[in-house]
Structure 1
Amino acid sequence: LTNNWSRRCPVKTFTFVVYGKNGSAVSRPRRKPLLPKPHKTARLNFAKENERKPDKCWQHTVRSDENKMTEFGLDGVLHV
C-alpha cells in the first residue's frame, strides 16, 4: 500500500490502524449525542421562558454541568 506521499505502508500496520488488534473495526463513541431540531427548539423556548426566574427558584435543581461524584471516584464514565 502507498499513501499520498508515495511512501510504502506495511499491510499489517494498515490493518491494525483500520481494524485494531482483534480484527474488529475500531470506533469511538460520540462524546455528546447530537440533538434533533425539535429538541433544540424546546431547549431554547425553555431558556427564554425561565430566563427571569429568581435564583431561589433554582436552588434544588441539579445542573448538567455538575459532576456526579461518588465515594470511589466518578460515576457513569464510559471507557471503550
Structure 2
Amino acid sequence: MLYLIDKPMAEIALRTVAGDPEAHVVLIQDGVYLSPDVDAPVAAVGRDVDVRGVSLPPDIDRISYDDVVQNLVEQEVKSFV
C-alpha cells in the first residue's frame, strides 16, 4: 500500500502505516518536514523539498512527481493529504 502523507494528517497516517507490513510512504507538500520513524521505505517529493528548503535525512529517498504518479498507477493508495 502506498501512503501519501502531508504534515497536518501525519499522526493518524503514521499510526496507520505502523500496522501495514507492506507500506510504502511518500511525504508530500509539508509532509517533507517529517522524519517518520516507521519500518517502511520512505520517500519525499523532491520539488516539495526544494520549495521548502529542507535537507532530507539519508534514509529518505528523493522522488519526482512523475514517480509519484507512476506509483499511484501501480499500487493501492491511502491519501493523508
Structure 2 length-normalised TM: 0.21
Higher-RCO chain (CA-CA 8 Å, sequence separation at least 6): 2
TM-score between the two structures when normalised by the length of structure 1? 0.21
Structure in which a larger fraction of residues adopt helix: 2
| More strand as a share of residues | 2
Larger Rg: 1
